[in-house]
Amino acid sequence: MPLAARLLSLHDGLSMTLIESIGKKVRFLEAVTAASGLAPRLRVAHARAEDLAQGGGVRFDLITARAIAPLGELIRLTAPLLTPTGSLLAWKRASDEWDAELGAASSFIGTSAIEVIPVGATTLDGALLVRVTPHESERVRARV
């Protein structure tokens, strides 16, 4: 919510959708959105990403995610929701398992679609911002 509020305050033409599967959290986000005056530019969808993908029609230029799933699974969930030139930005943490997680994601989508950016803030030690651009993937291009 803070990221959405900040981005909406900086970009007049921007609209955003928060996707949340837990009803109690959806009601809270809807109340905060209404009270903050961010509606209708900030919408809350009570859904799971995989359900939105199956329904078709809903597409996003950018999807951000934190603490949802391993990177490969996150790519599988979000790729169908991206526009043809859309990107996924995922917060991850460097750990003993990170190399295996990155390897699994790379084998799924290809290394050309994944950019790992270390976050240079001492208070966020080990934090990584991972940009995934499926349209840059040699594997996605080969399927077209």
For 76-93, write each residue's pLDDT tens digit: 988 889 998 999 999 998
Confidence of residue 138 (pLDDT cuts 50, 70, 90): low
* Contact assessment for residue 86 and residue 117, using Cβ atoms and an 8 Å cutoff: no
Predicted local confidence at residue 123, as pLDDT: 80
Predicted local confidence at residue 28, as pLDDT: 96
For 37-67, write each residue's pLDDT tens digit: 888 899 999 998 888 888 777 888 988 888 8
CATH 3.30.310 is right for the domain spanning 59-144: no
- Is beta strand 82-93 parallel, antiparallel or unpaired with respect to 127-132? antiparallel
Predicted local confidence at residue 71, as pLDDT: 93
Instruction: List the domain boundaries for the chain.
Output: 1-47, 59-144
Predicted local confidence at residue 140, as pLDDT: 54
Task: Look at phi and psi of residue 62 and say left if phi exceeds 0, alpha if psi is from -120 to 50, else beta.
Answer: beta
